[in-house]
Amino acid sequence: MCSRFAHVSHLLLWSLVFSMECISLPVTAQLPNTNIYLFDLDLGSSTHPLLNPRYLTAFNATGYNNQPAFFQPDEIWFTSDFQDTSQTDIWSLDLTTGARHRITHTRASEYSPTLMPGGRGFSTVVVETDPDKTQRLWQYPTRPSGPHHPLFPDVTGIGYHCWLSPDTAALFIVGEPHSLHLIGKSQDQPTYLTSRIGRCLLRSASGHLIFLQKVTENDWYIKRYDPNFDRTEIIIKSLPGAEDFCLLPDGSLLMAQGHLLYRFDPAKDITWRTFFDGSVYGFQQITRLVNQSDQQLVLVNQPLSK
């Protein structure tokens, strides 16, 4: 297979279908059609940084497949409505064999699977089955059908989360506006940090929280919060209207805007530079991106409504 994007047609992606057996959204709303793709990363290439595309979710091509996370270098977990259209569950996918397993099988809807520090299982945002569709953060074991329980029973409205340490989590609390909080396992209620934030929360190698704040309608910034000194600083102004990004091991950022990816390296860049054009594979809107070190990149594409 030719690895150069400029010479690969859109049809080639579909010939690489990985699942051909050869290998907070409101629950009342219809979930969008989203699909997951895997690429090898070549950060040393200025022209072809993404190689060997693989389409991972052909088994649910018209459904919702989103919020992927690497649990092992060769395994991702993600949210999907595969087999059930009334709610979502967490699934795992072996990137080597193509084997997939349903991790949760509940009446509630689970989103954003996140491996917890210290081998304590995984955490997930659960839209519960009570009349109010309460959203809490739950802890599940990594084996299917084990016991599970809410981590912070009194904290509701959780949309997204990120672990900064085995004992401390950053929480995106749904509201008008959405707000950012920190909570420790010994706390009943979280500590408010700021508001008007985006959905992407990441922990840097130094333990800082990387997040996006929508200061005004037109001024969005990616920021770094140091929990040790309770200090926040701006890294870079966001691309207009964009809020999905990932953090590479060298400290640079990748950010999605429509069908394009951009890169910003604080050590040598003064602004964003184009990194990858997804339109060559028919991508219309990249809504999630997650990397496995500097080796692989997973993208979620959401086709635009016709």
- Residue segments in the chain with a per-residue pLDDT below the cut of 70: 1-29, 144-146, 305-306
Please check whether residue 139 is in contact with residue 146, taking contact to mean a CB–CB distance below 8 angstroms. no
Amino acid at 126: V
CB 67 within 8 A of CB 81: no
- pLDDT at 5 (0 to 100): 35
Closest CA to 116 of 152, 74, 166, 186: 166
Rg (CA), the chain: 19
Q: Which of 234, 165, 167, 225 is nearest to 194 (CA)?
A: 225
**205-221: pLDDT as tens digits:** 999 999 999 999 999 99
Cα angle, residue 128 at apex, residues 65 and 161 outer, rounded to 5°: 60
Q: Are 266 and 252 in contact (CB under 8 A)?
A: yes
CA distance 110 to 134: 12
Distance of CA 66 to the CA centre of its chain: 8
Instruction: Write out the two tokens for 287.
Output: 């809504």
pTM score, whole prediction: 0.89
Q: What confidence score (pLDDT) does residue 61 get?
A: 95
String of DSSP letters for 113-167? EEEPGGG--EEEEEE-SSTT--EEEEEE-SSTT---EESSTT---EEEEEEEETT
The counts of H helices and E strands in the chain are: 1, 24
Please give the pLDDT value at position 175.
Answer: 96
pLDDT at 145: 63
